[in-house]
Amino acid sequence: MPGRRSIVLAVVLTLLTLGTGGSAVLVALHRHGGHHSATAPHRPVLASVLPTPTGTVVEVNGAPVPTVGTTTVAAALSTAGVTVRSGRYLAVVSHRPLGSDGNPARVLVDGQPAGLSSPVVGGEHISVRAGADEVEPTETVNVVLPPAVRSPLYVGSRDGLARLVRGKISHERVSEHLIRRPRTGHLVRPGAVALTFDDGPNPRYTPMVLRLLHRAHVRATFCMIGAQAAAHPATVRQVAAAGHELCDHTWDHDLALRSRPAGQIQLDIARGRHAIIHAMRGKEAPLFFRAPGGNWSTRMERDARKMGMTPLKWTVDPRDWSRPGVHAILRTVYAELRPGGVILMHDGGGDRSETVAALRVLLHRLPKLGYHFVLPPVERLRHHH
């Protein structure tokens, strides 16, 4: 119809590769005057990739963005298939994407900053510049290198130390410098293994364990909970009188102790130690310390050493406390035990009849397999009085 104006919207998308990998996309919306022709040929969406001195230009023609009066930046970009992408961190070695690096995309309407909800009308130009990707920052850290065999029964063992440069997010290694080689040391005796018993003393099961050890001429280490030692001081003295070592297992066996405040950690360790000393009428103090559940921390080890106790870890855990059955206990010990092994068992904390039955078999069987029962060596520490 004469005098009737039609609005035709065309979209031109231009992608420019810039600098560090950022890209620019230009979406142009403009009015086109003239008469609508029913016979005008339909132009398909065409895409061409053209190399340029600065990167690649992507040009899309004939892909109009339909609008009725007013639309938004987000709607226009969605129809044009343009994604607004923030920058990403790339792993320092593999360059795999890690997540947002904080470099946001920029959206401009006719050269002015705009948000995705900003309104646009025909004839306006939208440009989107993706956030620049960046290689993640690096950090330099010292890491501990454990010896090939880590066991309390090795004398002269020492951790190694290495300095790493690594990705701060991915932890991919860029370089590694060896500061000190780890040292395994030597076993206190060929075939040496140690028996340890936790969560006692128990007036019923601890004497049963003591009788079996006495008959086999074996000495062991008893890691006692302070509250239990305070409740059964005579059993504590019975253990010591039989030549076994005493070990502080904290006052109340708090499995989350390593996450407690520093003062609470120190108090729980000290209170357990004091309970054992009190049960021994001041004549003997525990030489070892064991963290509840084996949940160690550097602070706990340091506090124990300050109190004159050697941290005592285990290498074999048959989970006898869960009462899995005598055969299951034995099967785990046979599968995991090696020279230098420290076996964890329990003489307290519940029904320990399965532990007693399994111990009877182990005391008979392990020497025939070439193992020798020993007490763990004590570190040279300053003891508190």
pLDDT tens digits, one per residue of 210-219: 999 999 999 9
Q: Is the pLDDT of residue 53 over 90?
A: no
Which residue is catalytic, options 133, 198, 303, 320? 198
Supply the pLDDT for residue 62: 37
Domain with CATH 3.20.20.370 in the chain: 188-373
Convert the pLDDT of each residue in 349-364 to its tens digit.
999 999 999 999 999 9
Q: What are phi and psi of 48, to 5 degrees?
A: -135, 140
Convert the pLDDT of each residue in 152-163 to its tens digit.
999 999 999 999
Supply the pLDDT for residue 282: 95
* Proportion of the chain above pLDDT 70, given as a percent: 80
> What integer best gives the mean pLDDT of the chain?
83
Catalytic residue status for 346: yes
Span 125-136, average pLDDT: 86
Own/partner long-range contacts of 306-310 (Cβ < 8 Å, ≥24 apart)? 307/269, 307/270, 307/273, 307/384, 308/381, 308/382, 308/383, 308/384, 309/247, 309/248, 309/273, 309/381, 310/152, 310/376, 310/378, 310/379, 310/381
Supply the pLDDT for residue 359: 98
Q: Please tell me the distance from the alpha carbon of residue 127 to that of residue 23, in angstroms, as a whole number.
A: 10
Direct distance between the N- and C-terminal alpha carbons of the chain, in angstroms, rounded to an integer = 108
Q: Please tell me the distance from the alpha carbon of residue 99 to that of residue 133, in angstroms, as a whole number.
A: 10
150, 158 contact by CB (below 8 A)? no
Measuring CA to CA, which residue among 60, 58, 62, 40 is closest to residue 50?
58
Q: Please tell me the distance from the alpha carbon of residue 249 to that of residue 344, in angstroms, as a whole number.
A: 13
Confidence of residue 43 (pLDDT cuts 50, 70, 90): very low
Supply the pLDDT for residue 286: 97
Span 170-195, average pLDDT: 95
Amino acid identity, position 70: T
Q: Please tell me the distance from the alpha carbon of residue 244 to that of residue 219, in angstroms, as a whole number.
A: 5
Residue the block writes with tokens 């600065």: 54
Which residue is catalytic, options 133, 249, 346, 347? 346
Q: Please tell me the distance from the alpha carbon of residue 272 to that of residue 290, in angstroms, as a whole number.
A: 11
What would the 3-class secondary structure string for 28-51 be? ECCCCCCCCCCCCCCCCCEEEEEE
pTM of the model: 0.68
Confidence of residue 118 (pLDDT cuts 50, 70, 90): confident
Q: Is the pLDDT of residue 145 over 50?
A: yes
- Supply 54's token pair: 């600065």
Supply the pLDDT for residue 258: 95
Q: Is the pLDDT of residue 46 over 70?
A: no
Supply the pLDDT for residue 69: 52
- Supply 2's token pair: 């004469």
Q: Which residues, at least 6 apart from 327, have a Cβ–Cβ distance to it below 8 Å?
A: none
Supply the pLDDT for residue 108: 80
Query: Kind of pairing, strands 173-180 and 310-311?
Result: unpaired
Q: Please tell me the distance from the alpha carbon of residue 251 to that of residue 226, in angstroms, as a whole number.
A: 4
Catalytic residue status for 177: no
The CATH class given to the 188-373 domain equals alpha beta
Q: Which residues, at least 6 apart from 368, have a Cβ–Cβ distance to it below 8 Å?
A: none
Q: Is the pLDDT of residue 301 over 60?
A: yes
Supply the pLDDT for residue 71: 74
Residue 105 CA: distances (Å) to CA of 18, 21, 116, 160: 13, 12, 11, 46
Regarding predicted confidence, which is higher, 100 or 120? Answer: 100
65, 11 contact by CB (below 8 A)? yes
Q: Please tell me the distance from the alpha carbon of residue 250 to that of residue 325, in angstroms, as a whole number.
A: 28
Burial of 179 (0-12, 13-18, 19+ CB in 10 A): exposed
